Structure 1
Amino acid sequence: MTLLAGAAAPAPAPVAHPVHKPADASQAQPVSYGPQYAAAHVYLEPGTMPAFVRSWEATFGGSHYDFVDDVNVTPTPSKALSTFITSPVGHLSVFDYHTPKPHPFGEERTGWGVTDVDKAVKAAQRSGAYELVAPFDDPVGRDAVIQFPGGLNTQLWLNFTSPTLPELTTTPENRVYITAGTLRPFLSSYLQFTHGRIVKDEKRADAAEVGEPNQVMHRISITSQFGKTVVFVTDGHLPHPYGEESIGYEVADLDNAIAKAKATGADVLAKPHTANGRTSAVVRFPGGYVAEVHQNVS
Structure 2
Amino acid sequence: MKRIAFLLATAFVTAAPLSSPLLARETASADYSVGPQYDTTHVYVPEAEFDRFVTSFVATFGGTTSKQGEFQVTPTNSLTKSQLALTPAGTVSVFGFKTPIPYPFGDERTGYLVTDMDAAVASAVKHGAIRRIATFPDPIGRDAIVQWPGGVNMQLYWHTTKPSYTPLTTVPENRIYLTADAADRFIGGWTAYAHGRIVSDNRAAPGAEVGQPGKTIRRVAIESGYGRMVVFITDGQLPWPYGRDMTGYAVSDLTATLEKASAAGVETLVAPFSAGTRQTAIIRFPGGYVAEIHTEKGK
Q: Same fold (TM over 0.5)?
A: yes
Structure 1 residues 60-75: aligned runs within 5 Å: 60-69=61-70, 71-75=71-75
- CA gap of 1:267–1:20, structure 2 versus 1, over 3 A, is farther
Cα displacement (A) at 1:211: 1.2
- CA gap of 1:21–1:164, structure 2 versus 1, over 3 A, is farther
Cα displacement (A) at 1:191: 1.1
* 1:3 and 2:4 matched: no
Task: Tell me, in whole angstroms, the C-alpha distance in 1 between the residues paired with 2:17 and 2:209.
Answer: 39
Q: Which amino acid aligns with 1:38?
A: D
Task: Tell me, in whole angstroms, the C-alpha distance in 2 between the residues paired with 1:221 and 1:187.
Answer: 10
Aligned to 1:12: none
Task: Tell me, in whole angstroms, the C-alpha distance in 2 between the residues paired with 1:215 and 1:163.
Answer: 44
8 A Cα contact 2:241 2:269, kept in partner? yes
Cα displacement (A) at 1:215: 2.4
Q: Secondary structure at the match of 2:255?
A: helix
Task: Tell me, in whole angstroms, the C-alpha distance in 2 between the residues paired with 1:243 and 1:276.
Answer: 19
Q: Deviations over 1:139-188 (max 9, x none)?
A: 21100000110011000000001230110000011111111121121112
Structure 1 residues 148-227: aligned runs within 5 Å: 148-227=148-227
Q: Which amino acid aligns with 1:3?
A: L
Aligned to 1:129: 129
* 1:39 and 2:60 matched: no
Q: Which amino acid aligns with 1:271?
A: A
Q: Secondary structure at the match of 1:78?
A: coil
8 A Cα contact 1:32 1:226, kept in partner? yes
Task: Tell me, in whole angstroms, the C-alpha distance in 2 between the residues paired with 1:139 and 1:23.
Answer: 14
Aligned to 2:80: 80
How many residue pairs were aligned?
A: 289
Aligned to 2:105: 105
8 A Cα contact 1:20 1:33, kept in partner? no
Q: Percent of counterpart pairs with the same letter? A: 45
Task: Tell me, in whole angstroms, the C-alpha distance in 1 between the residues paired with 2:138 and 2:11.
Answer: 20
Instruction: State the superposition RMSD in angstroms.
Output: 1.8
Task: Tell me, in whole angstroms, the C-alpha distance in 2 between the residues paired with 1:105 and 1:270.
Answer: 29
- CA gap of 1:153–1:289, structure 2 versus 1, over 3 A, is same
Task: Tell me, in whole angstroms, the C-alpha distance in 1 between the residues paired with 2:77 and 2:151.
Answer: 25
Task: Tell me, in whole angstroms, the C-alpha distance in 2 between the residues paired with 1:106 and 1:283.
Answer: 20
TM-score, L = length of structure 2:
0.92
Between stretches 25-34 and 76-85, larger displacement belongs to: 25-34
After the TM superposition, list the runs of 4 or more consecutive aligned residues in structure 1 that deviate by more than 3 angstroms.
5-8, 18-28
Cα displacement (A) at 1:6: 3.7
Task: Tell me, in whole angstroms, the C-alpha distance in 1 between the residues paired with 2:125 and 2:19.
Answer: 25
Task: Tell me, in whole angstroms, the C-alpha distance in 2 between the residues paired with 1:235 and 1:121.
Answer: 31
Q: Secondary structure at the match of 1:3?
A: coil
Q: Which amino acid aligns with 2:127?
A: S
8 A Cα contact 1:149 1:186, kept in partner? yes
Q: Secondary structure at the match of 2:143?
A: strand
Cα displacement (A) at 1:85: 1.2
Q: Which amino acid aligns with 1:168?
A: L
Task: Tell me, in whole angstroms, the C-alpha distance in 1 between the residues paired with 2:143 and 2:174.
Answer: 20
- Runs (5+) with no aligned partner, structure 2: none
8 A Cα contact 1:141 1:160, kept in partner? yes
Task: Tell me, in whole angstroms, the C-alpha distance in 1 between the residues paired with 2:272 and 2:229.
Answer: 21
Between stretches 220-229 and 188-197, larger displacement belongs to: 188-197
Aligned to 1:249: 249
Cα displacement (A) at 1:214: 3.1
Cα displacement (A) at 1:135: 0.4
Aligned to 1:116: 116
TM-score, L = length of structure 1:
0.92
Cα displacement (A) at 1:2: 2.7
- CA gap of 1:226–1:21, structure 2 versus 1, over 3 A, is farther
